[in-house]
């Protein structure tokens, strides 16, 4: 058991997000060391802050809420990608993975960030074309070496 934990901790320590590290580590060791859950009142406050927080078990609710806040920094003015463009990426991914919840949320967020209906359609079309072309390459056993040669990738 300890070897598995050390192996997983080494994986976690290579991730970039400290909160994600804490959250994953907590998930691994909480049952072993018997950590107490978030208090009922603290849990209710987290749900008031965001109804999405009720998706998480109480034992990790605080860390999950903190991670969600940090994740949303990717869509802020501090992100290296402008908010509208980041939301368009999220729309494209949501469509590609066929997540109706994600599509609803990300299309709304993209519009709130200033994206037009045409920009949203273009993002979805790009996702569809990448997926289509991937299917063609994979299905025809095109081969990565052949693709790299055509593209001039070293």
Which of these three, 47, 71, 95, is where a domain ends? 71
CA distances from 85 to 23, 29, 81, 105, 117 (A): 28, 38, 7, 15, 13
Our count of domains for the chain comes to 2
Which of these three, 53, 71, 89, is where a domain ends? 71
In this predicted model, what pLDDT tens digit does every residue of 72-116 receive, in sequence order? Answer: 999 999 999 999 999 999 999 999 999 999 999 999 999 999 999
In this predicted model, what pLDDT tens digit does every residue of 114-139 receive, in sequence order? Answer: 999 999 999 999 999 999 999 999 99
Domain that holds residue 28: 2-71
Q: What percent of the chain has pLDDT over 90?
A: 70
| Domain shared by 93 and 129, yes or no | yes
Its pTM stands at 0.70
């Amino acid at each position: 058991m300890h070897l598995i934990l050390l192996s997983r901790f080494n994986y976690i320590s290579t991730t970039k997000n400290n909160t994600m590290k804490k959250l994953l580590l907590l998930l691994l060791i909480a049952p072993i060391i018997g950590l107490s859950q978030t208090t009922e009142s603290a849990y209710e406050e987290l749900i008031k802050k965001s109804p999405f927080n009720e998706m998480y078990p109480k034992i990790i609710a605080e860390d999950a809420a903190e991670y969600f806040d940090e994740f949303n920094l990717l869509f802020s003015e501090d992100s290296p990608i402008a908010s509208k463009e980041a939301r368009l990426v999220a729309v494209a991914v949501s469509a590609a993975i066929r997540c109706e919840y994600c599509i609803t949320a990300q299309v709304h967020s993209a519009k709130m960030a200033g994206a037009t209906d045409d920009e949203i359609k273009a993002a979805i079309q790009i996702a569809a074309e990448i997926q289509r072309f991937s299917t063609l390459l994979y299905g025809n056993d095109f081969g990565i070496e052949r693709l790299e040669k055509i593209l001039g990738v070293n």
